[in-house]
Structure 1
Amino acid sequence: MSNNRGVVYIGEGKVEVQDIAYPKMETPNGKPIDHGVILKVVSTNICGSDQHMVRGRTTAPTGMVLGHEITGEVIEKGKGVEFLSIGDIVSVPFNVACGRCRTCKEGHTGLCLHVNDDRAGGAYGYVDMGGWVGGQAHYVMVPYADFNLLKFPDRDQAMSQIRDLTMLSDILPTGFHGALKAGVGAGSTVYVAGAGPVGLAAAASARLLGAAVVMIGDFNKDRLEHARKMGFVPIDLSTHDRLGEMIAAVVGEPSVDSAIDAVGFEAIGHGGKEQPAVVLNQMMEVTREGGSIGIPGLYVTEDPGAAEKAAQTGSLSLRFGQGWAKGLSFHTGQTPVVQYNRQLMQAILHGRLNIAEIVNAQVISLEDAPKGYEQFDAGVASKFVLDPHGLLGAA
């Protein structure tokens, strides 16, 4: 049996790379399964959602192995796995989904009814998402493998483009979902809140969908400069408190066709204070009448570290009447990755989407993960990709 190491949450602001158990073909409750595979992890990314837990902003327990953005090689498979072979390189949707329940059959794989005893929806290495072991590790087990995993058609081609393909597990489909649900199409004017990796992925997706102009708002000047280099219009929120006027300076009117919230519940307002509803209220303000808002940014049911008492239980001070009066459409929730990852894979493989460059992917070793978390939390304009076996360096 091979040794295994993984990134473990050990307390507020702290992660360590530790020896962890080699994965077994069983559920978190210890029930044996025959529909899973064990993967040798090729790449696994640090996500902003991981940072929420590491900052102590959720009820995540210490000892949790983190990581829900996983790409790997099949090295073992259960007897019930029919369509995957040993040696296949696959992308793992961050949603753990059975493919058999009502919501999965309807395409809502982020709301699977069978993989989490506490609520709808499961994910690897994430609080309240079913207890599935995370993939910031050398090895990980994936259940319902035939349904969940996306096999890359050619191993050599996949490894040559692995820095792009590693984004298929979460942030690229999440950004695409946000753009699609915001109604982005040919000639759209688009505003994206947040110039982090998901915001950049949403902006790239909006461009892929035919947007005429994509603006990205943030306070982080390094991230805004990177967004500018990638061809997006930066909106420096530190210079002005009237977003509509800044948008009007770009498109000639103080509104957009589509808005995307890629920030979530830890949003910062002017003055540097947390305002968990500030982005959503801004979205309603600047989205045109009858327009749509996509909300891929994470919102939680419990936020013990929130400055506002109401926000500690997920309650936000929304100007919902404004959204109602304007007839706006909102779309929230986990992205159903399997709806999009195959098409986005093709866009990558055929040169339509240089997503690794757009999110400024930086490859580091698994053992350097704590440094990656620290730098990402400080706001660097990068997406950290962990390379547990040195395979990305070789590629």
Structure 2
Amino acid sequence: MPNTLADWLTYLEKLHPKTIALGLERVAQVKQRLNLQPDFPVIVVGGTNGKGSVCAMLESILYAAGYRVGCYTSPHLLDYNERVRIAKQPVSDAELCASFAQIEQVRGDISLTYFEFGTLAAMQCFIGHRVDVAILEVGLGGRLDAVNAFDADCAVVASVDIDHVDYLGDTREKIAFEKAGIFRRGRVAICADSDVPQAIRTQAQQVGAELWCIGSEFGFARHEGQWDYRSKIGSRSAMPYPALRGAFQLNNASAALAALDALKDKLPVNMGVVRRGLVEVELAGRFQFVPGKPQLILDVAHNPHAARSLAQNLANLPPAKTYAVFAMLKDKDMDGVVRSLDAQIDVWLVAGIDAPRGATVAELSHVLQNAQVRGEVKPCASIADALHEASNRAGENDRITAFGSFYTVAEVMRARGMRGG
């Protein structure tokens, strides 16, 4: 049996014939053998984009309220432990190894993917630590995702857009159907996408979930320097803007507050705690500003919806020459991302990603050429080289933006000696 966390992760990557294998049967069987039955509220958060931000805000507010919070998110940027946090601290290597060993012992001949193993290990850690609440971020879709082996006391869909078409379908309605698979009978289901797909409404009705949609059952109003939240439960006024920057963060913050409204009897939080949680929230790689000059912005945007959001956020900043450090996975909509950001980028410094699904420099350069981007395009040997080139060329009033993938942001963070999580 593997000894170190690194050994375990290598083992898990090779264990299952497919990297992604959607379906709940295998994970549910092993869950039963482990007797994983949480006796605390579980909040499940899905969505094409924004789910990481909703999880981070829920974690920050509930932690500020004094609850012992378990939070499971993916993917990680630098260290696997970032995925499993208790009281805002990553779980230790030793604890993850012990959980993996126990799962390995009971699974018998049932094959599990890397993500399924990780999901079961996270819940095992949360139960072992007797957390007060667990926040689980969906890995892919919802209906057949390993996280959905656990019943949500409140389910959140942050947004619905096109991504992962090979697994989830190629229309918003098909994707919405998959995401709504996390809804449960008699529980509140929250949709923070202002254009609610019909499939979300239909699924909620069929399952018997109580659906709250942004703009009707809850919503927000923006003001200079503050914002107001309202829901069918009540309102919270003069709130500070969340520490996470970006155009859609009030949608995400409202979704988090709606989830807290839905669970107010089990997890009461007061106004002061909500304010503190919003101000103290942290999430690497989401329109993240790195101190220093030239300005460096990190964003994991890797689909057109997220790229449009990044473009809007960049357009809201004071004008500056913008250098892109750009790398993507080839199974993503590379053309859609490039076209969404074309107007904001002056120089594209393009690199390949050294991973099985990584796009090569040649493939990305070809996409940029076909899109006839207005900016200069320069191929680079690696993401670190692209960052080095950008840093050398950019003046102190210019801007560098690294985006396209979690890999892109992680490599820039490594090159800068930053911490993840």
Is TM-score (shorter-chain normalized) higher than 0.5?
no
Higher relative contact order (CA 8 A, sep 6+): 1
The structure with the greater share of residues assigned to helix is 2
The structure with the greater share of residues assigned to strand is 1
Give the alignment's TM-score, normalised by structure 2. Answer: 0.29
